[in-house]
Amino acid sequence: MSRWPIAELLPHAGDMILLDEVLSFDADSVETRLRVRPGGLFNQADGSLPAWVGIELMAQSVAAYAGCQARQAGAPVQLGFLLGTRKFQCNVERFATGSELRIRALRSLQDDNGMGVFECHLEGPGIQAEARLNVFCPPQIDSYLQESSQETDS
């Protein structure tokens, strides 16, 4: 279990935080948990979550991994970007209300420029999902955002 509340690990706020907690983390991986509850931003009328939300759960798990690494190093949590996903597969169309989901993300590649690849697995009662996520967390996020803003203004 993480020493920090999930809200202190993610650069998200309010209802956009979908995870409940970090169960464990180490230098290369993280495991998170979520109990599906009705009334969230992405819930269907019956309270379930569509399976495609699994990609966001995996992305938030990767963000939680980065948040744990930052907190452990005494650094602030940084903003990161999901660039894309490959091979998302899920054996169900939705995650039922009350289901406990566990998400594991294993870092398979990360370079000094902030590019990373994570192998992610989501499991629950009768649920199996997996994907490879490509992410980007620039080392100097403020400079990166300022440069990006100036480019779009031109």
Residue 113 corresponds to which amino acid?
N
Which of 12, 67, 6, 8 shows the shortest CA–CA distance to 34?
A: 6
pTM of the entire predicted model: 0.89
Q: Residue 41: what pLDDT?
A: 92
Q: Residue 110: what pLDDT?
A: 85
Q: Residue 13: what pLDDT?
A: 85
Where exactly are the structural domains of the chain? 6-153
In this structure, the strands spanning 49-50 and 81-90 are: unpaired
Low-confidence ranges of the chain (pLDDT < 70): 1-2, 140-154
Q: Residue 150: what pLDDT?
A: 62
CATH number for the domain whose boundaries are 6-153? 3.10.129.10
Q: Residue 62: what pLDDT?
A: 97
